[in-house]
Chain A
Amino acid sequence: DAKTTQPPSMDCAEGRAANLPCNHSTISGNEYVYWYRQIHSQGPQYIIHGLKNNETNEMASLIITEDRKSSTLILPHATLRDTAVYYCVYGQNFVFGPGTRLSVLP
């Protein structure tokens, strides 16, 4: 099973950038890394994914290290509504770890 390591929790001030790290050292060369978030008990919401290059969309940016063993999700201007559990995921079964509980503070 795919294994990821993330800090269990992080705080971020509203309006500041939130940088969420993930280690995925066992990812193989052709596997994408995906980021999801879960607000309360809703279904996981897709945020962004990437293979080798850094990616950006309307929600976030994704920085992937050159060796692909880790990545960082960046929420450039965090809002209170970004408070959620964030997961990095890879592998064809999209196996979820415990994730990072991000608290955005006013």
Chain B
Amino acid sequence: EPEVTQTPSHQVTQMGQEVILRCVPISNHLYFYWYRQILGQKVEFLVSFYNNEISEKSEIFDDQFSVERPDGSNFTLKIRSTKLEDSAMYFCASISDRTGGNSPLHFGNGTRLTVT
């Protein structure tokens, strides 16, 4: 069964450094998402992306964050200058079509980001 893949599984970075988290969504999917989960807390929506532009973003997704689909397969989340509070699991997800609402969102297994 096709799946969403994320790399790396664990990333350690120093405060102030830039980090790029990578995702390969399921190949025929059209909508892409990033979520984060701080340890012990709920899964939080960050951003959705469709047709090479951001569809919606949450308050968490400030100017330090950006997303890109640099080619036909990858979807990336960049954090420009990491802070300690950016330490979290980051999940990528994709969906084939959300116009009818009858498609589930498929998640990757996440990247654990540790900012020291």
Q: Residues on A close to B: CB < 8 A?
A: 30-32, 34, 36, 38, 41-46, 49, 51, 87, 92-99
Contacts and interface: CB of A to CB of B under 8 A. Distances in A.
Contacts of B102: 32, 49, 51
B45 A43 contact: no
Residue in A31, A43, A96, A99 with the greatest tally of chain B CB atoms within 10 Å: A43
Given A87-B43, A98-B42, A41 B37 contact: yes
Contacts of B35: 96
* The 8 nearest A-B residue pairs measured at CB: A43-B107, A96-B43, A46-B104, A43-B109, A32-B101, A44-B107, A94-B105, A98-B42
B45 A42 contact: no
Contacts of B105: 34, 46, 94
Given A32-B102, A43-B108, A93-B45, 4 more contacts: A42-B109, A43-B107, A43-B109, A44-B107
B77 interface: no
Nearest to A49: B104
Contacts of A36: 107
A87 to B, nearest CB: 7
A92 B101 contact: yes
A30 B99 CA distance: 10
B110 A96 contact: no
Contact of A31 (B43, B48, B101, B106): B101
Nearest to B109: A43
Given A41-B37, A43-B91, A96 B104 contact: no
Contacts of B101: 30-32, 51, 92
A21 to B, nearest CB: 18
